[in-house]
Amino acid sequence: MALTRAEQRRQTEDRILAAARRLFADNGYDRTTIRAVAAAAGADPGLVMRYFGSKDELFARVAEVPSDGPVSGSPEEVAELLLAALDGKLRGDLSGTLAMLRSMLTHPDAGQEMRAAISGQQRQVAAALPADDALLRAGLIGALTLGTIIGRDLLGLDGVRDADVADIVRVLRPAVHAIARPPG
């Protein structure tokens, strides 16, 4: 059965997005070109521009930081929700997050988008923690999560790079719980 024009377009867009995600994650924003994305996707550069408008718009589509979802419950439940979210991230496709992380130091918009996404998540976690310094605690848990992803998938740090995801979460569990727990 022949594909409709809409299905062909969707498949081409998906190929372009997958290629862009890989290239931005591997090379960062500055070193990724529309021509390279088009070549990797088996598409014409003009088609990439027609579908996505600009390199910035293409980057914005592939470098979204997914939300961890709603956060609520006791500090212990919040800690477990955040650990489950980290587990899911480490097991999933991190190419969009890695594209954003690799690019945020050289591309101002990437850094601003990353800060905005992380700050929104941090405020949501802080609202669920019953402590005067809840925003600090949420930020530190976020820093642990971000540092784990950077250490494992960008820097390839020994010990973390090849560790089983369940082991990473197991080792981080006491620290996340201690940070989430209110003082006293």
- pLDDT (tens digit, 9 = 90+) per residue, 89-111? 898 877 777 777 777 777 777 67
Span 157-164, mean pLDDT?
Answer: 95
pLDDT band for position 79 (cuts 50, 70, 90): very high
Domain parsing of the chain, residue ranges: 5-62, 75-180
Span 160-174, mean pLDDT?
Answer: 96
Span 153-181, mean pLDDT?
Answer: 95
**Phi, psi for 123 (deg, rounded to 5):** -65, -40
pLDDT band for position 145 (cuts 50, 70, 90): very high
The pLDDT assigned to 107 comes to 75
- Given a contact cutoff of 8 angstroms between Cβ atoms, the answer to whether 81 and 67 are in contact is no
For residues 167 and 183, the model is more confident at: 167
Task: Kindly report the number of other CB atoms within 10 A of residue 66's CB atom.
Answer: 15
Fold of 5-62: Arc Repressor Mutant, subunit A (1.10.10)
Q: Give the range with max mean pLDDT: 8-17, 18-27, 85-94, 156-165.
A: 156-165
Using CB atoms within 10 Å of the CB of residue 58, give its burial: 0 to 12 exposed, 13 to 18 middle, 19+ buried: buried
pLDDT digits (tens, 9 = 90+) for 106-144: 777 767 777 777 888 899 999 999 999 999 999 999 999
For residues 125 and 26, the model is more confident at: 125
pLDDT band for position 65 (cuts 50, 70, 90): low
